[in-house]
Amino acid sequence: METKPPVPRAVLVGIQTPDVDDVAHEASLEELGRLVKTLGYEVVGSVSQKREGTGAASLLGAGKLEELAALTGGTGVVTSMATPPMTKARKRFEGAAESTRPAEPEPDAPARPEFVIVDHELSPSQIRNLERATGAQVLDRTGVIVEIFHRHANTREAKLQVEMARLKYVAPRLRESTTGGGRQQGPGAGESNLALDRRKIRDRLAELKTQLEAVQRDSDQRRSARRDQLRVALVGYTNAGKSSLMRALTGSQVLVQDKLFATLDTTVRTLQPETRPRVLVSDTVGFIKQLPHDLVASFRSTLSEALEASLLLFVVDASDPTYEAQLEVSRSVLREIGADSVPSRLVLNKMDRVDPARRAALLEKHPDAIMLSAHAPDDVSALRETIIAFFEAEMVDDVLVLPYAKQKLIGEIYESARVLSEEHDETGRVLKVRALPGAMARLRRSLAAG
């Protein structure tokens, strides 16, 4: 019987700066734990410390560093990377150290954590210092998010976007091999291994950029074809329930998982039951606190679904005590891409997990919010009616005359507008229609052409 490989074990590290209160600090560490579990690691402990900032060479103070090292089996000391000369005195000293070294742990003892995960973005030197002190591999919050995106990307566009962000993250953190790799022979002679690796990354980034631009041209054409259609984009914090709501509104089989970043690829489906004109619903990549800038930049094309939507639905997990901070993160990212001017509504999701007292408080604080559970059919039906009513308010009524010689345009009219009545006279079909002003103008141009 094949045995499964052991689950990697990790210790979380958090630094609480003066501008962060206890609740926000605990929430951030808990979220980091969920990110780590999404990676498939087991969280076996955590270390926190209050500090003025995160710029210290080893991040933690000496006492906390020793506490962390005790969990991972490290020395707790930031040793030098230089190999000391082996004098006779040093050989005698190291021989004595060998004889007094603690015995190896018993075979049945729990394995030491192999990873230290820090709830902040670290500099390359901070990562190296922590690794030397703990004897474990160190990842910062950005590295964890980039790795999750790398594992969850499915479409070609998402894979290209994530690889670009991953290489931009890795490049400044490359280091020379400790085995003393020197200069290259042959092509690129004279370059160190490190310089060669960095040049390869630059070349690969240029190649990825060219490929991504080609893929995004196709995406832009598809979005352009949908420009005059009614479009709703679901946006919000990761794991707020956007995909569940998407599934309920459209009947589509989009992936629904209780994991952070289960959805990376934008999905576009038709609102069901279908309306005339059709309403398209987009499910977008979730946001998170300290979302790496390179990922935001890489996913700018994907997020254009939000920029070009007629209505944004900000989906929030109302049962989460930090929902307001999560909402601000979502709005901040959308401001960064210029989507803050798009009309929006707040959707407080997962209300089935909220007690009556909290429901009343939420209603008082957000009187215009849509409160629902994505798993309650009546709630979803009410949201559907709200979406339709929003577009109805933007529509105008008009009369179109479709000559008998242009009957091939009847499909475009029914696709872009709601036909309220239809009559026939000697000139052709006389249609009373309701549509958005842009769609109406486009239909009139089609009728006038040729």
Q: Which residues are annotated as a binding site for Mg(2+)?
A: 243, 263
Strand duo 428-435 + 418-424: pairing = antiparallel
* 8 Å CB contact between 177 and 193: yes
Question: Residues at the annotated binding site for GTP?
Answer: 236-243, 261-265, 283-286, 349-352, 373-375
Going from the C-alpha of 152 to that of each of 87, 263, 346, the distances in angstroms are 52, 8, 27
Question: Residues at the annotated binding site?
Answer: 236-243, 261-265, 283-286, 349-352, 373-375
